């Protein structure tokens, strides 16, 4: 190991420091020259290259990771290869370039056109996989519109039916589960919106629909709880002529909840709502008994008993 005395760098020969400055100036210029050389080569190809040269260059750019250049070249020469053996591969390469750029809207359009046009191509299976996978990757979070999610589910299902032995099968089954979970989450979010804004009648309908559509939802306990509470708040704030029936709905919702989750974290709150509903309904039982007694007494008087 070489040991240098302190201040060695300061005592380096003048020519060494000069060479260092020169290299620092030359390197950016050299890199820029290479960049312009590449651009010049690309521009020359674009201007004077034959369709075959552009086709080969497009594949080269695709393999080199220059996906935008590849897409531009293939889109430019695509009309020139209509009806030729390369026609399907050009459309496939355009889709692949956009897929690698994570532009799944464009790649999806290309692959969708491919699978509808080239049903016998050797690239069909891969194109259909990339089409489905692109839809999966473009699926938005659960709090947004789930049109892409539904499209991805359909595409994955179609792919798995057509290619049951695909090497992508397990991964795509996992993707399908993830998409279904997202739809369950979306259904819960949508239903809870009605509860949050105080539309309790609509909330009970939406929450029940969410359970009917996705009975295995991870939010099942909370949904059943919200159905009880929505019915209770609806009944409590209803006109008197509607309260009896709606408090009976509270009782029914309570039984459904406790039947599935007898030791829930919501149990105390739900039990209190049930007791209040039961107390309200009890007055009707007392009134009914009094009316029955009155009717019996009247009947006995009329009969002379």
Band (268; pLDDT cuts 50, 70, 90): very high
Ramachandran region of residue 65, left (φ > 0), alpha (ψ -120 to 50) or beta? left
Q: Is 277 or 304 the better-scoring residue by pLDDT?
A: 277
- Per-residue confidence (pLDDT) for residue 16, from 0 to 100: 52
Task: State both tokens at 220.
Answer: 């099942």
Among 35-39, 134-138, 280-284, 286-290, the range scoring the smallest mean pLDDT is: 35-39
Tokens 């390369």 — which residue? 86
In 3D, which of 100, 102, 57, 105 has the Cα closest to residue 77? Answer: 57
- Per-residue confidence (pLDDT) for residue 287, from 0 to 100: 54
- Per-residue confidence (pLDDT) for residue 60, from 0 to 100: 96
- Per-residue confidence (pLDDT) for residue 39, from 0 to 100: 62
Contact predicate 227/253, CB 8 Å: yes
Write the pLDDT tens digit of every residue in 231-250: 999 999 999 999 999 999 99
- Per-residue confidence (pLDDT) for residue 47, from 0 to 100: 83
Tokens 């509607």 — which residue? 242
pLDDT at 33 over 50: no
* C-alpha pair distances (Å), 119 with each of 122, 123, 218, 236: 9, 9, 40, 62
In 3D, which of 112, 143, 105, 106 has the Cα closest to residue 127? Answer: 112
Q: Please state, as a whole number, how many other Cβ atoms lie within 10 Å of the Cβ of residue 113.
A: 15
- Per-residue confidence (pLDDT) for residue 203, from 0 to 100: 97
pLDDT at 101 over 60: yes
- Per-residue confidence (pLDDT) for residue 20, from 0 to 100: 52
Question: Is residue 294 exposed (0-12), middle (13-18) or buried (19+ Cβ within 10 Å)?
Answer: exposed
Task: Give CA–CA dist 239/236, Å, rounded.
Answer: 9
Task: Give CA–CA dist 84/58, Å, rounded.
Answer: 17
Alpha helix stretches (DSSP H) within 141-199: 147-162, 169-196
- Per-residue confidence (pLDDT) for residue 71, from 0 to 100: 97
Contact predicate 146/182, CB 8 Å: yes
pTM: 0.76
Find the length of the chain. Answer: 305
Longest dimension (CA), the chain: 137
Question: Is residue 90 exposed (0-12), middle (13-18) or buried (19+ Cβ within 10 Å)?
Answer: buried
What number is the average pLDDT over the span 51-60? 95
Band (21; pLDDT cuts 50, 70, 90): low
In 3D, which of 167, 169, 145, 139 has the Cα closest to residue 157? Answer: 169
Helix 147-162 and helix 169-196: axis angle, to 10°?
Answer: 150
Write the pLDDT tens digit of every residue in 193-204: 999 999 999 999
């Amino acid at each position: 190991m070489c040991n240098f005395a302190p201040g060695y760098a300061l005592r380096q020969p003048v020519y060494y420091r000069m060479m260092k400055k020169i290299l620092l100036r030359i390197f950016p210029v050299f890199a820029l020259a290479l960049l312009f050389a590449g651009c010049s080569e690309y521009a020359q190809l674009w201007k004077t290259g034959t369709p075959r040269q552009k086709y080969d260059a497009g594949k080269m750019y695709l393999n080199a990771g220059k996906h935008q250049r590849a897409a531009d070249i293939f889109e430019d020469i695509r009309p020139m290869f209509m009806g030729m053996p390369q026609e399907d591969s050009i459309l496939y390469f355009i889709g692949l370039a956009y897929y690698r750029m994570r532009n799944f809207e464009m790649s999806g359009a290309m692959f969708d056109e491919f699978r509808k046009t080239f049903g016998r191509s050797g690239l069909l299976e891969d194109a259909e996989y990339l089409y489905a996978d692109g839809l999966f990757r473009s699926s938005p979070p659960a709090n947004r519109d789930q049109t892409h999610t539904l499209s991805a589910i359909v595409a994955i299902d179609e792919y798995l039916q057509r290619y049951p032995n695909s090497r992508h099968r397990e991964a795509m089954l996992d993707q399908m589960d993830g998409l279904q979970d997202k739809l369950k989450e979306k259904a819960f979010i949508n239903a809870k919106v009605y509860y949050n804004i105080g539309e309790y009648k609509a909330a009970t309908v939406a929450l029940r629909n969410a359970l009917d559509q996705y009975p295995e939802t991870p939010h099942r306990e909370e949904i059943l709880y919200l159905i009880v509470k929505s019915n209770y708040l609806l009944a409590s704030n209803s006109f008197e002529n509607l309260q009896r029936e709606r408090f009976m709905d509270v009782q029914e919702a309570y039984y459904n909840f406790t039947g599935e989750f007898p030791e829930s974290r919501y149990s105390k709150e739900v039990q209190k709502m049930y007791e209040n509903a039961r107390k309200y309904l009890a007055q009707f039982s007392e009134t009914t008994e009094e009316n029955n007694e009155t009717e019996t007494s009247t009947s006995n008087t009329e009969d002379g008993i």
